[in-house]
Amino acid sequence: MGGEMKRKGDKEEIEEMERDFEKIWDRAERVEVVTPPKGKRKSILSLRLDPETLRDLDIYARKNGLKPTVVARELIREGLARGGIKLSPKALLEMLDQRISD
């Protein structure tokens, strides 16, 4: 008997959630999703970073009101622009800090 009460309560809760969802769905604004043309699409690159580097990247990004992915992208661009000079992540962050501060 106790199991039946629980199942009935679960069923009522699910029905209530479905009604709530329908209300929210009805209020939602329809949007059009536009896919950029093939030449304008961006690619995704997964990177493995050690915890310390990721933490430093996150701290730097937050301090400058940026997302870590934006900072990482800029660091990569800057490194490539420098002709492949090998710099430590800390040095690259300092260079980016100077560039943003100027």
Percent of the chain with pLDDT over 90: 20
| Euclidean distance between CA atoms 78 and 95, whole angstroms | 9
The two structure tokens encoding residue 15: 């029905």
Residues 17 and 45 in one domain: no
Q: Is the pTM of this model over 0.85?
A: no
The pLDDT, as a whole number, for residue 92 is: 67
| Euclidean distance between CA atoms 60 and 78, whole angstroms | 16
The pLDDT, as a whole number, for residue 51 is: 92
Average pLDDT over residues 32-51: 81
Residues 44 and 3 in one domain: no
Q: What pLDDT, in 10s, does the model give residues 54-85?
A: 999 999 999 999 999 989 988 888 877 777 66
How many independent structural domains does the chain possess? Answer: 2
> Which helix or strand (DSSP H or E) is residue 14 part of?
helix 2-27
Range of the domain at 4: 1-31
